[in-house]
Structure 1
Amino acid sequence: MKDSFTYEDIIMTIIAQSGEARTYSMEAIKKAKTNEFDIAEEYLKKANDCFLEAHKVQTQMIQDEINNKKHEVTLLMVHAQDHLMNAMTVRELAEEIISLHKKLQKD
C-alpha cells in the first residue's frame, strides 16, 4: 500500500473490487443458466482476480496493524468489510450453482 493513498482510497479499493467480484459472480450464474459454462468459468476467474486485489489491500492493513500502524475503524471500513464478505459468499454460491447446472446438463 503506497503512502500516497489515503485511508479512504484504500477502503474504496476494497469496496470497488468487492463489488466487481460480486458482479462477475452473478454474471457467471447467468451464463451457467444458459449452459455457457466456459464463459461462466471466465467470469469466476475475473471475480477471483478482483478478490486478489481486495485481499492485497486488506492484508497490507492487517500487516500495518501488526506493526503498530493503526487504522481507525470507521463505518466506511465496516461497510467495505461487509461488501467483501458478501461478495465472497456470492462467489461461493455461484460455484455451487454452476456445478448444479453442469450436473443437470449431463442428466
Structure 2
Amino acid sequence: MNEENLEAIMGLIVHAGNAKSDAMEAIQAAKKGDFSEATEKIQQAEASLVEAHHAQTGMLTKEAQGDHMTVTLLTVHSQDHLMTAIAFTDLAKEIIDLYKRV
C-alpha cells in the first residue's frame, strides 16, 4: 500500500473516531440538560464526518480513474469505522431530541 492510500485510510479512521466521540459527548451534554453544548458537539461530529468523506471521496475517485487499491483489513476497518460513526451521529441527534422533550 502506498503512502497516499495509507494517509486516506488513517484519515477515515481518525475523523470517524472524532465524530463518534463528539456525538457521545453531545448525548452526555443533553443528558445534563446542556443543549447548547450538545448542539456544538453534534456540529463538531458532522464536521469530522465531512473530513472523513473527503478522504473517502479521494479513494473512490482514484478507483474510478482506474487506480485500483488492494483492499486490506485496514481498508475495510476504515470504511466500517466511518459507517458506524455516521449511524452513531444520526442516533445521537435522535437521543438529543428525546432529551429535549423530557
Gaps of 5+ in 1: none
Extract structure 1 runs of 4+ deviating beyond 4 A.
none
Q: Give, in whole Å, the separation in 1 of the partners of 2:80 and 2:67.
A: 23
Match for residue 63 of structure 1? 61
Match for residue 51 of structure 2? 53
Deviation of the 1:5 alpha carbon: 4.6
| Root mean square deviation of aligned Cα | 1.2
Q: Which of 76, 79, 86 is equivalent to 2:77?
A: 79
Q: Give, in whole Å, the separation in 1 of the partners of 2:50 and 2:11.
A: 11
Structure 2 residue 1 is the aligned partner of structure 1 residue 12:
no
Sequence identity, in percent?
41
Gaps of 5+ in 2: none
Q: Give, in whole Å, the separation in 2 of the partners of 1:72 and 1:103.
A: 48
Deviation of the 1:10 alpha carbon: 1.4
Deviation of the 1:6 alpha carbon: 2.7
- Structure showing greater radius of gyration is 1
Q: Do the aligned residues in 1 keep the contact of 2:20 with 2:85 (CA within 8 Å)?
A: yes
- Using structure 2 for the length normalisation, give the TM-score: 0.94
How many residue pairs end up in the alignment? 101
Q: Do the aligned residues in 1 keep the contact of 2:18 with 2:48 (CA within 8 Å)?
A: yes
Which letter maps to 1:53?
E
